[in-house]
Amino acid sequence: MQIAGMNAIVTGGAGGIGQALAKALLARGAKGVLITDRPGPALDAAALATGCPAFACDVAKEAEVKAMIAHAQSLLGPIDLMCSNAGVLDVDAEPNNAASAANEAWERSWAVNVMAHVYAARALIPGMQARGRGTFLHTVSAAGLLSQIGSGPYATSKHAAIGFAEHLAITHRDDGIRVSMLCPQAVDTAMIRVRGEEADHPARADGVLSPDEVARIALDGIEEERFLILPHPKVADYMANKARDYARWVGGMAKMRRSY
């Protein structure tokens, strides 16, 4: 599969991985790219920086996602690639209580980290089925494959996002629709700074990648039609360890938690 000639949408496009994806898509010859994020100066600045049209959208609301996709189609034509990249991270209110995050944090995490993917797919699948092609890139996280120390809402919603990506890929493979999951560890974005990860935080153990590096790896994965894209290759080893001895893996994660 080639990026060249594609029309794409990138959510969470006001910065970080989203903005880097938009730039990388254009560099690889994408025909048109629309970026979307919550309204504000960051989205306006990203539109100027990337040269992409922008559309303000709260991806937690299905009506806004539908309106955004309709706008993108009217502007660009049929959408070939949907990059559902927006995400939120809410930490546990009490580090020693796994259920301490407020209901609002759980609801926000579910809406943005899971349902936004569902809303986009719901709007785009019929057209992709009719054309016999289309691609979804879901930015998830290594936390969805492993876990996230200190954030029940993030770890849980990212696991659910992987479940939906699997279901999407299985159900629509014979329609010519492809799905890729992008699951990095630490990336140098606002999210990693907001959650206060110190230099010795476990999430940084395998290095902090730049958004541009992650975008390049993501597009390589799309062109190779890989379902699982791991910017940090070591995650594959952690997944194997988890599958090999689940109880031992849980014990290792608990030990890691005690280290910070």
Q: By the 8 A CB rule, do 101 and 151 touch?
A: yes
This prediction's pTM: 0.93
Burial of 45 (0-12, 13-18, 19+ CB in 10 A): middle
Flag whether pLDDT at 134 surpasses 60: yes
From the list 154, 238, 246, 260, the catalytic residue is 154
**pLDDT score of 25:** 98
Give, as one character, the DSSP assignment of residue 185: S
Q: Chain-wide mean pLDDT for the chain?
A: 94
- Mean pLDDT across 206-223: 95
- The model's confidence at residue 146, banded by pLDDT at 50, 70 and 90, is very high
226-238 residue pLDDT tens: 999 999 999 999 9
- The model's confidence at residue 192, banded by pLDDT at 50, 70 and 90, is low
Q: Is 2 a member of any domain?
A: no
* Core vs surface per residue 227-250: b (16+ CB within 10 A) or e: ebbbbbeebeebbeebeeeeeebe
Q: Is 67 a member of any domain?
A: yes
Q: Which domain holds residue 226?
A: 7-258
Helix (H) / strand (E) containing 54: strand 54-56
- Mean pLDDT across 80-91: 97
| Rounded Cα distance, 91 and 83, in Å | 25
- The model's confidence at residue 206, banded by pLDDT at 50, 70 and 90, is confident
At 89, list the tokens.
Answer: 């991270």
- The model's confidence at residue 190, banded by pLDDT at 50, 70 and 90, is confident
Q: Is 106 a member of any domain?
A: yes
Q: Is 157 a member of any domain?
A: yes
Of 17, 14, 12, give the one whose Cα is nearest residue 211: 17
Residues in the chain: 260
**pLDDT score of 200:** 56
Q: Is 111 a member of any domain?
A: yes
Of 209, 220, 98, 211, give the one whose Cα is nearest residue 150: 98
CATH of the domain at 210: 3.40.50.720
Q: Is the dihedral of CA 88, 38, 179, 117 positive or negative?
A: positive
- The model's confidence at residue 92, banded by pLDDT at 50, 70 and 90, is very high
Q: Is 141 a member of any domain?
A: yes
Q: Is 39 a member of any domain?
A: yes
Contacts of 19 (CB under 8 A, 6+ apart): 13, 35, 46, 49, 50, 211
Flag whether pLDDT at 204 surpasses 70: no
- The model's confidence at residue 22, banded by pLDDT at 50, 70 and 90, is very high
Q: Is 238 a catalytic residue?
A: no
**pLDDT score of 43:** 97
Q: How many structural domains does the chain have?
A: 1
Q: Is 1 a member of any domain?
A: no
Contacts of 195 (CB under 8 A, 6+ apart): 89, 91, 150, 151
